[in-house]
Amino acid sequence: MREACDATARGFEAVVADLPEAVRRGRGERWVEGVFGLHARHAGNGVGYDSICASGDHANTLHWIKNTGDVKDGDLILVDAGVEVDSLFTADVTRTLPVNGTYSPAQREVYEAVLAAQEAGLAAAKPGAKFSDVHAATIRVIAERLHGWRLLPDGVDVEATLDPENGQFHRRWMVHGTSHHLGLDVHDCALARKEDYMDAELKPGMIITIEPGLYFKADDELVPDRFRGVGVRIEDDILITEDGNENLSASLPRDPDDDRDVFLEVKAGEGGEESALFAGDLARMYLRYAERVGWRTEIVDASPSDLGGYKDVRIAVSATGTPGPGEAPWARLKFEAGVHRVQRVPVTESQGRIHT
Ligand code: GLY
Ligand code: MN
Ligand code: MN
C-alpha cells in the first residue's frame, strides 16, 4: 500500500506539472487521465479504477469517468485516481486543485470546509473507534458549515440535520459516505456484513479512505451564485495504527496554507541515456508549468551539463514568501537560485518527485 500511495503521488505530481498542456489542448480531462494512466501503467499494473478527472461542474457528477471536458483556467479540477501496483494493491486518492494555481475566494471557502471535515475524520480514525465514527465526525463539520452558510432549510439546525430519521438535509451536498476499506480492491470487502464493516471497530492494520466532499451543481438554485459549479473532494488513504493513524498519501499537499518547504529533484537514474532523457523531459515539464503560472524559475543545479544535455538534471526548489489569499500550495513554490537548504533524496530510476 505504501508503494501504491507513493506511485500515486508521483502520478498526481505529473498531472499537476502538465496541467498547462491539458488546458492548451482542449479535452483536457482526457489529457489528465492519460498522464496519470501513463504513470500508473509504468509504475505498476495500471490504474486501480477508472480515473475521475472532473474539471469545473463535472466535479459535481459523482463518478465522472467520461473525462471528455475541457480543463479551464479559473476552474477547479477534481482528480480521483490511484495506482494499482504489481502486487495488485491500489491507492485511492483525490485532490481538488485550482487549474491556474490559485483558489478564488469562493472556491477556497468550499475547499476549507471540506478540509476541516477531513481533519475531523482523521482525528476520529483510531483503533477502538467504530468505522462509522469517522463519517459521523466529518459530516458534523459539513453540517456546521452548511448551517453557517444558511443553506439548511429554515428551522433546521446542525443537530436536526444530523438526525438519522428526520434530518439528513445536508445529503443534498455531500452525497456519499466518508470512508471505505481499501486494499486489493478499491472498495475492499464491500460485501461484508454490516456488523463486520459499518458497525465494526477499527483495528491496527486496516486501511480506509477518508474522503469528504461538497458538491454544488452549477444549476443548484438553493446555493448562492458564488458556490455554483464548485465541487470539492479530498481523499486520503489512512492506515490505522496502534495509537491512531498514519496518512499514507500525506506526501501530496492538501492544505492551501501549508508552508512547508518543498523541493523538487529530478535526477537521472542508472538507466543510461534513456533514463537521462526521461529525467530531462520531466524537468522541462515542471519548468513549463512553473513558467505558465508565473513563478520565477531558475535551475539551481543541473550538473554535470544542462537541461539540453539531458544528464543528471537536478532542480532544487524552495518555497518562499507569504501565501496570498486563495493560493494553492504549489503556487507558492519559487524556483530560487542559491537555495538555503537542499534536501538530497535517493532517487532510484528516472523519477521526479516533489518532496515536502
Ligand atoms: N474512487 C472511488 C472512491 O473514491 O470511492
Ligand atoms: Mn474512495
Ligand atoms: Mn476515490
The residue whose CA has the least distance to atom 3 of ligand 1 is 92
User: Does the pLDDT at position 13 exceed 70?
Assistant: yes
Distance 80 CA to ligand 1 centre (A): 7
Taking a 5 Å cut-off on Cβ, the residues next to ion ligand 2 are 92, 209
Q: What is the pLDDT of residues 32-59, one digit of tens each?
A: 999 999 999 999 999 999 999 999 999 9
Residue type present at position 329? P
Q: Which of 51-55, 147-151, 333-337, 351-355 has the lowest mean pLDDT?
A: 333-337
If one compares 268 and 281, the residue with the highest pLDDT of the two is 281
If one compares 284 and 29, the residue with the highest pLDDT of the two is 29
Q: Which of 33, 51, 65, 94 to mutate to test the pocket of ligand 1 (most atoms within 8 A of CB)?
A: 94
Q: What is the DSSP letter of 259?
A: -
B/e letters for 121-157, b = 16+ CB within 10 Å, e = fewer, are bbebbbbebebbbbbebbbbbbbbbbbeeebbeeebe
CA of 235, closest atom in ligand 1? 4
pTM of the model: 0.76
Written as nine digits, the cell of 336 is 530560487
Determine the Cα–Cα distance for residues 267 and 301; give it in Å rounded to an integer: 11
Q: What is the pLDDT of residues 192-213, one digit of tens each?
A: 999 999 999 999 999 999 999 9
User: Does the pLDDT at position 326 exceed 80?
Assistant: no
Mean of pLDDT values over 161-178? 95
Q: What is the pLDDT of residues 68-121, one digit of tens each?
A: 999 999 999 999 999 999 999 999 999 999 998 888 999 999 999 999 999 999
Residue 350: band (very low, low, confident or very high) from pLDDT cuts 50, 70, 90: very low
Q: What is the pLDDT of residues 234-280, one digit of tens each?
A: 999 999 999 999 999 998 888 876 543 344 544 444 444 555 555 55
User: Does the pLDDT at position 316 exceed 60?
Assistant: no
Of 227, 231, 237, 229, nearest to 78 by C-alpha is 231
The answer to whether the beta carbons of residues 229 and 218 sit under 8 Å apart is yes
Determine the Cα–Cα distance for residues 126 and 254; give it in Å rounded to an integer: 21
Written as nine digits, the cell of 260 is 512547508
Residue 319: band (very low, low, confident or very high) from pLDDT cuts 50, 70, 90: very low
User: Does the pLDDT at position 340 exceed 60?
Assistant: no
47 sits in which H/E element? strand 46-47
